[in-house]
Amino acid sequence: MSVVITGTPRVPLETARAFTPYGVATVHEAQGRTGLLASCMRPIYPGAKLVGTAVTVSLPPADNWMLHVAVEQCREGDVLVVAPTSPCDVGYFGDLLATSLASRGVVGLIIEAGVRDVSTLSEMKFPVWSKAVSAQGTVKETLGSVNIAIVCAGQFIHPGDLIVADDDGVVVVPAAWAAKTAEAAKAREANEGEKREKLASGALGLDMYKMREPLAKAGLKYVD
């Protein structure tokens, strides 16, 4: 049942690039509030941000053999997305693997487990979102799979899907929705800039969003 799927199609690089200006919250809203990974997935340094196409890895608890296999399947613009088959917080990934991925143009790592060497990874500006930081290493004894569909931090992720991550967390954009979501994010963002200006100059959301009437209808009372 261990398999490496080669030649997986990805969301095209131009489509991926269209997401660069948008944060995770915007993208998540833009695709109807779907695709957000669990909030236990935190960046290893503040300000980390990435947009990339998923190379997926399913591997056993405390065994990182398949990460070495996965490296070879990665190319420019990819992000490695890793989930163990049972919950595990040990450090699957460190600076050597990051060096290897960076040399291939991989933009970062999403792992529902632990990582180590986080000082070096931060200096390298190799962004990682993980569930834990742990110096505990892994063995290389048991196989897993690369580029099969996986569940990572509660979301279903196919190889080639688009991943957007920042300080707010991680969202997956299914390949088939990428173009449409990029457009929706663009529309939403334009909109936000305008709202931000109005609010900064003192306008109230109550008026801007015309909430006073529905609030009164729902029964809100003001009491002095």
Minimum CB distance to a second copy smaller for 87 or for 176: 87
Q: Which amino acid is at 61?
A: P
Minimum CB distance to a second copy smaller for 13 or for 214: 214
Sign of the dihedral defined by the CA atoms of residues 15, 18, 20, 26, in that order? negative
- Least Å distance between CB 56 and a second copy? 13
- Least Å distance between CB 2 and a second copy? 5
Minimum CB distance to a second copy smaller for 14 or for 111: 111
Residues 6+ apart with CB under 8 A from 176: none
Minimum CB distance to a second copy smaller for 14 or for 224: 224
| Nearest to 157, CA basis, from 169, 174, 170 | 174
- Least Å distance between CB 16 and a second copy? 19
- Least Å distance between CB 144 and a second copy? 9
Q: Report the C-alpha gap between 116 and 91 in whole angstroms.
A: 5
- Least Å distance between CB 53 and a second copy? 18
Q: Report the C-alpha gap between 168 and 49 in whole angstroms.
A: 10
3-state secondary structure of 148: coil
Q: Report the C-alpha gap between 38 and 177 in whole angstroms.
A: 21
Minimum CB distance to a second copy smaller for 14 or for 59: 59
Residue with tokens 């799927």: 5
- Least Å distance between CB 14 and a second copy? 24
Minimum CB distance to a second copy smaller for 52 or for 84: 84
| Nearest to 130, CA basis, from 97, 100, 105, 103 | 97
| Nearest to 73, CA basis, from 47, 106, 117, 24 | 106
